[in-house]
A and B are shown apart, each in its own frame.
Chain A
Amino acid sequence: MGLRALTHFRLSRKINRSLTVSFLLFLLLAVFGIFMALPLIFAVSNAFKPLDELFIFPPRFMVSNPTWDNFLDLAALMGNSWVPLSRYIANTLLITIVGTAGHILLASAAAYPLAKYRFPGSRALFTIVVLSLMFSAQVTAIPNYMVMSWLGWINTQWSLIVPALAFPLGLFLMKQFIEQLPDALLEAAKIDGAGEYRIYWSIVMPNVKPAWLTLLILQFPMLWGSDGGSFIYSENLKTLHYALGQIALGGIARTGVGAAVALILMVVPITLFIISQSSVIQTMATSGMKD
């Protein structure tokens, strides 16, 4: 007992840490932390600047008389547009929610057998998924467009949603996470007479909630930030990001509104991450590639 208390005490004190080096490292962290945070703080502060502060020389970093003017201007602008703002929001929400929820569902359904069983083709399939992490989506952009046009999905939201369902990173992370669920849990369910689908749905899924959130936080910003790419050209199908991007492109006259737009676009994914951070870290601990 005494020994355990002693080791416990040593654990809570850091071993092998010199104070000077710690100080220097934390200083480094602080400096780069400021570099990382400045543009975001600046984006927030800019969104609340009145016109005269946006164009002051020399430029001032922080806002001194915060105002909601930029947001009101944005609302007025969108109110006058041919397609109402709510439509853009609905489009983005549809793509983001269906794309993310579907991805979590399909990726975990595929990850469960890959993580827990060996069967003909299982190794090969997983290897292909890992290999596909090694190149980016731009490589397949052109044939993807042709596949979409054969399917007749050009200018429909399917062209954005369906490929997103099968992104490789989600399957990879989900598989690594499911792997460390205890086999005993699955065995017990099997003895109780549960079939594979039942096990997937009522044993695996509830136990991988942290991984759901991780897939969510990786998938969500990607779809949320989607501007429709080359697939969507009807104005009433365009996304919020596209619409807001068009306003921000209005140049000098739209500086303030552009800042409001930037704030709206970044606030949602960042909030999501704040909520899900601890689950995400828990999942990422299993993200490693084994030999």
Chain B
Amino acid sequence: MQANTTSQAVPQTVRGARTSRRALLWRELKRNKHHYVLLSPYMLLFFMFTVLPVAFSLLLSFFYFNMLEFPRFVGWQNYSRLLLNDDVFMIALKNTFLFAVITGPVSYIACFVFAWIINELSPKVRAFMTLVFYAPSISGNVYFIWLIFFSGDAYGYLNGFLLKYGFILAPVQWLTTEKYILPIIMIVQLWLSLGTSFLAFIAGLQTVDRTLIEAGAVDGIKNRWQELWFITLPSMRPQLLFGAVMQITASFAVADISISLAGFPSVNYAGHTIVTHLMDYGTIRFEMGYASAIATVLFGIMLGTNMLTQKLLRKVGE
């Protein structure tokens, strides 16, 4: 194939070069036709349900559209309203950033630290502990178990416990008191968040080259912290990058937990996030253009944060 390419690509004139390049591309396409055939079913669906909707959402964010009338172009109006005139969006934005700043990094570090400790255990115990930490994230949407923990009456477990030992005299309405809502959602979110990245870390730790650790010990690495910083973390950089993407995306997308714990809308919007705001306008008020503007802002924030984090993490151990 290499020889073929060079013999073809000898240009006589500019025009000749262009046609031969086109012919070359055509040949390449033809030569790889089986690969395109294999790719096409997945890519067709992927474009239809992921790429096209993103583009469509971007476009729609410049229109007023209520699903009944024909869309009307309004320029930047949706964005100016969203960013300047929507107080509830500001609450949603603040809450979402709190999730991103607190649960994002905490869950990421937790995924790594627990994977790292679990990795020291014998294989049987390791498998068991992996299950214990991973199970919440796949146990369906059973976080309504937490509703019983934080239930506002005396049968709620937390209330029951606190009443019994005299910390409080009357049951606390955990899920309808503004100041408790966000922390509770965060706790439940953290409980659920040891998912795909946790598995990636468990797996990555098992593939760290043992001889590197041996060599490090000979070269004067004295304790596990040095080993972690100088050997383990740098050898796991690809998994660390992957895990970061998973955790960041998840921490910006909190919605279901907020809705099932604190209700929709929550008291004084205490548990409101960008995604619940999006649902409000998209599925209740049918202001599709406005909802698309919210989606576009969220898309920008998620992508931007992920790219920035990737840049930073590539520096680990350099």
A-side interface residues toward B, CB under 8 Å? 7, 10-11, 14-18, 21-22, 25-26, 28-29, 32-33, 35-37, 39-40, 42-43, 46, 55, 57-59, 61, 106-107, 109-110, 112-114, 117, 119-120, 122, 125, 128-129, 131-136, 138-144, 146-147, 162-163, 165-166, 168-169, 171, 195-197, 200, 217-218, 221, 224-225, 227, 230, 241, 245, 248, 255, 258, 262, 265-266, 268-270, 273-274, 277-278, 280-285, 287-291
Contact = CB atoms under 8 A, between A and B. Distances in A.
The 4 A-B residue pairs whose C-beta atoms are closest, nearest first, are A288-B238, A113-B35, A166-B45, A140-B53
Interface residues of B, number: 110
Contacts of A248: 144
B43 A110 contact: yes
A202 to B, nearest CB: 14
A283 B42 contact: no
Contacts of B242: 287-289
Nearest to B58: A143
A166 B42 contact: yes
B39 A139 contact: no
Secondary structure of the A contact surface, majority rule:
helix
A33 B118 CA distance: 11
B56 interface: yes
B298 A117 contact: no
B41 to A, nearest CB: 5
A55 B154 CA distance: 10
15 contacts: A10-B214, A11-B210, A46-B148, A57-B155, A106-B41, A129-B46, A135-B54, A138-B275, A139-B299, A140-B49, A143-B52, A144-B53, A196-B38, A224-B140, A266-B140
B202 to A, nearest CB: 6
B13 interface: no
Given A262-B145, A277-B130, A135 B42 contact: no
Nearest to A277: B127
A40 B191 CA distance: 11
B194 A36 contact: yes
Interface string B236-253: 111111100110111011
- Greatest chain A CB density within 10 A among B42, B204, B238 is at B42
A281 B206 contact: yes
Nearest to A278: B127
Given A46-B148, A109-B38, 8 more contacts: A36-B132, A36-B191, A37-B132, A43-B145, A113-B39, A117-B32, A225-B140, A262-B144
A29 B306 contact: no
Interface in B135-191: 135-136, 138-142, 144-146, 148-149, 154-157, 160-161, 163-164, 191
